[in-house]
Amino acid sequence: MDWNIAKHIIDRLAPTAALIDARRGNAIETGLAEAVASAAGAMRAAGLAPGQRLAIGCDQTLWTVLAYLGAQYAGLTAVPVERDKLSVALGDLGAEGVWVPDSAWLEGLPTPRVASLVGPDSLVGAPVQAEPRGPDDLAALMATSGTTGRAVRFIMVTHRNLLTNTHDIAASQHLQPGDRAMLILPMSYCFGVSVLLSHLWAGGDCVLDSRFTYPDTVLAAMDEYRCTSFAGVPSVYRILDTRSALARMELPHLRRFLQAGGPLDAPTIERIRAAKPGVAFYVMYGATEATARITTLDPALYENKKGSVGRAIGQLNLRIHEPDKHGVGEVMVSGDSITPGYWCCERQETVLMEDGWLRTGDLGLLDEDGCLWIKGRSKDIVKVKGLRVSLQEVDAIVNNVPGVLSAAACGVPHTLAGEALAVFAVVREHTEELRGEIRKALPLQWVVDRICFVPELPLTPSGKVVRGRLAELGGT
């Protein structure tokens, strides 16, 4: 069997499959398969050989998608990164080639050993056949620095990983031919890649848009292009809830909301569901080390399983490592979607324990129906006067205070308590009354060192809070 993920995607494309750039107004509305084969041909003509790595400067355009799929079709390892990580991909990682949207992206970068491809025209070549790939051949290297601010590492993702996870995602989300995703998530993020691949796999297609700073503009594009799926991380849904016209727009074609990338508080989910009662809301859980998706809560179970992230998708297996008396322990996962490990500065480091299970670092429990409940991160636990306090729980409480747009907490040293909480909130109005409401919402036994109002929270390109940088913030 040929495991080349891009070939499988191309073979499953609907004749009408399109890639549409809503911001720029351009599109590939026919011939997507030919465009991918042409991009692969251009890479081969540039001297890139199967197994070599192509760093891809991600700018949320259809050309980024062509570079990603074309690289895999040609047997290369795609390395999609944000602009600020290109130097790491070409330097520490040593990618043999690079594709960037324009020549300005190359300024100050190391010169790759084989080829530099610049702009859309560099992705046009004589079409070639897909390069056969084995199950364990690398399809992608996904950059991650987590949300703690540590150095960039690259997770190795095989063709087996992508093929398996893409199939399972499409099935768990009930994707159908003709489904069309609005993709605001970057291709450098496993969630973004998974939305693209799963919709193409199912016979659908994608609209790309990088304008979520203006959420109503994206909602209007969803209406114009008849999008059936919308995917976002918690910060995206909080913006939809508090700063958009979602409730006032009809969006008659929208069928599903897809949410992952961290916990989203129940009140926000409830308001989104109330704004669009006919749209299914999928709560999901995943990790780049598991390719993308681990669990999905089917919308039919939502009312009975509020707060759960659902059951393992497809062939994945879950277990709880060393559970306490309440059944809470570290969440562990096994299956064909689990990646081989990290590739860091030319060093391969394993992700797995010896028995083949991924240690996620998340604390959770499994109920009698096999549904997973995340209780926090093992490294996101603060000990306040000996009490274990989940920072995710703090975030959820503060985010539910009226007047708070988004918030996150971290632990700080405290002379008496050992550790205390520092809360950082983006709010509608800076008032002492609101600061008091936030403090009253938190249990009295939790020592709070400070509550700061800030203009914005530090976020990764995919919209996750960088908790490791919170303590550096000033605020009022």
Candidates 281, 285, 276; CA nearest to 256 is: 281
Judged on CB neighbours under 10 Å (0-12, 13-18, 19+), 220 is middle
* Whole-number Å distance between alpha carbons of 33 and 390: 47
309 within 8 A of 373, measured Cβ to Cβ: yes
* Whole-number Å distance between alpha carbons of 9 and 22: 23
How many residues are given for the chain?
A: 476
pLDDT of residue 445: 82
CA distances in angstroms from 314 to 164, 213, 219, listed in the order given: 8, 35, 31
What is the H or E stretch that residue 300 is in?
none
335 within 8 A of 328, measured Cβ to Cβ: no
Domain residue ranges in the chain: 5-373, 385-472
Which tokens sit at 371?
């549904």
* Whole-number Å distance between alpha carbons of 405 and 430: 12
pLDDT digit string (tens) for 215-239? 999 999 999 999 999 999 988 999 9
pLDDT digit string (tens) for 109-166? 999 999 999 999 999 999 999 999 999 999 999 997 554 445 678 999 999 999 999 9
Give per-10-residue mean pLDDT for the chain (476 aa). 98 95 95 98 99 97 98 99 94 96 96 97 98 99 66 90 99 98 96 98 98 97 99 93 96 98 91 98 96 98 97 97 89 96 66 78 94 85 75 91 95 83 95 96 91 93 85 82
| One CATH from 3.40.50.2300, 3.40.50.170, 3.90.180.10, 3.30.300.30 for 385-472 | 3.30.300.30
pLDDT of residue 149: 46
pLDDT digit string (tens) for 4-28? 999 999 999 999 999 999 999 999 9
CATH of domain 5-373: 3.40.50.12780
Question: Per the confidence metrics, is the pTM higher than 0.75?
Answer: yes
What is the H or E stretch that residue 286 is in?
strand 280-286
